[in-house]
Amino acid sequence: MKVKRKCSQYKCSEPPFLGGLCEMHSFESTKATQRRNDAINALHHTKVDGKLFSNTELRDELNKVQKWWYRACDSVNYSRIDAILKDEAESALDWCIALTQELIDAERASRLNISANELNLDATRQWVWGRFNNLEKGLMSNGVERASQLNQW
């Protein structure tokens, strides 16, 4: 009996299309990869679709994210412990990308004069800036005291 191959995505029974994924999941994966690449490009070049951010509020926030991005990149690329990020530099890269993705969505919506999904942007802002604020206070990003602080007792 010949076994029919299925999409490698959990609980998907569609036949594979590309890379072991069905057509829908392959498209979603490609879209997510492009979104991530756009965010990384914006973090390095401050541009979306080849143009600078036109919304000054979003551009200013991107500049703040870039400061953390470069700090985390330096820590990861040069294998050194950052004074604030400590052991969370790799995670900080992901936080910067997540927030930048939402900023890009908002910028693109702004360019088209349509309303962006403020709910996602606000939630991501709160999550990312909360983590960085905790790190600046000397805590772990989730707000828990670091082990070195607990051992001082």
Sequence-distant (≥ 6) Cβ neighbours of residue 150 within 8 angstroms: none
Q: Residue 70 carries which side chain, given as an amino acid letter?
A: Y
Answer yes or no: is 6 within a domain.
Answer: no
Judge whether 97 lies within some domain: yes
Residue 135 pLDDT greater than 80, yes or no: yes
Q: Give domain status of residue 29, yes or no.
A: no
What is the band of 109 on the pLDDT scale with cuts at 50, 70, 90? very high
Res 4: pLDDT: 75
Q: How many domains does the structure of the chain reveal?
A: 1
Question: pTM of the full predicted structure?
Answer: 0.85
Determine, yes or no, domain membership for 20.
no
Per-residue pLDDT of 72-91, as tens digits, reads 999 999 999 999 999 999 99
What residues make up the domain containing 54?
35-145
CA dist 18 → 14, 21, 43, 49, 134 (Å): 12, 6, 30, 27, 42
Confidence (pLDDT) at 35: 95
Is 2 within a domain?
no
Asked if residue 111 belongs to a domain, the reply is yes
In a domain, 90, yes or no: yes
